[in-house]
Amino acid sequence: MPRTRTQQKALAVLNYDLFQVESLSKPAPVTLYTKIREAAKVTSDIEPSISLSEGELPPEEELARMYERFNWIYFGGRLPSVKIEYSTRMTSAGSCAPHRRLIRIGRKYHELFPDELADTLKHEMIHLRHFRHDAAFKAEAARIGASIKARSHPSLRKPPKYIYVCSVCGREYPRQKRLRMASCGRCSRGGRFDRRYKLKLKKNQD
């Protein structure tokens, strides 16, 4: 039996109501940032996982990939390109030299605490913008979920052979090696050497 025109209109409306999408608005344009997020299948609170054997650390190439990933996820890709390398001499978790665009990761420390590798990298990445652990640094650390203070393990520490001191603020710097051109990190700005705050040798264990 053929349907009347009124019935056909009613069916058309019913079909539209059943299959229409929730929003017919134009989708947002795809950007490089959204492509990276989609490819990585991560959100800002999920860290990339690395499959490693016990006692093994990822190669430096993988650290560079982690850096790029974190750069886009947490900083919108605005941090500069840097070199990331392991240090077998460091007893702390990591260090950053912004003027050299260099991040060092303590191998000995992370052989003991491999799960802290991502946190250390994020901590040092913040130092590319904020050299000191000031209020701005702490705000960034809270935003991306990174630790505030650089960590070290007591079992990795050795008695310092040399102790240097800043003649301005009096802060001491215990070191295993002699320092030649070093200034106080608290008094100097931007991580650069400042002759006004050059460290002086206070104690020599040689």
**Nearest-10 crossing angle of helices 60-75, 135-144:** 100
Same domain for 122 and 60:
yes
In a domain, 3, yes or no: no
In a domain, 20, yes or no: no
Domain extent, residue 105, equals: 32-154
Same domain for 144 and 90:
yes
Three-class DSSP category at 162: strand
Tokens 């990339």, residue located:
48
Please tell me which residue, 54 or 160, carries the higher pLDDT value: 160
Same domain for 111 and 41:
yes
Same domain for 139 and 81:
yes
In a domain, 24, yes or no: no
Please tell me which residue, 130 or 33, carries the higher pLDDT value: 130
In a domain, 74, yes or no: yes
pLDDT-based confidence at 36, cuts 50/70/90? very low
The whole-number average pLDDT for the span 186-202 is 86
Same domain for 162 and 149:
no
What distance in Å separates the CA atoms of residue 143 and residue 117, rounded to the nearest whole number?
Answer: 18
Q: Is the whole-model pTM more than 0.85?
A: no
The whole-number average pLDDT for the span 76-104 is 93
Please tell me which residue, 124 or 6, carries the higher pLDDT value: 124
**14-32 tens-digit pLDDT:** 444 444 444 444 545 545 5
> What CATH number is given to the structural domain containing 47?
3.30.2010.10
**38-50 tens-digit pLDDT:** 544 444 444 555 5
In a domain, 13, yes or no: no
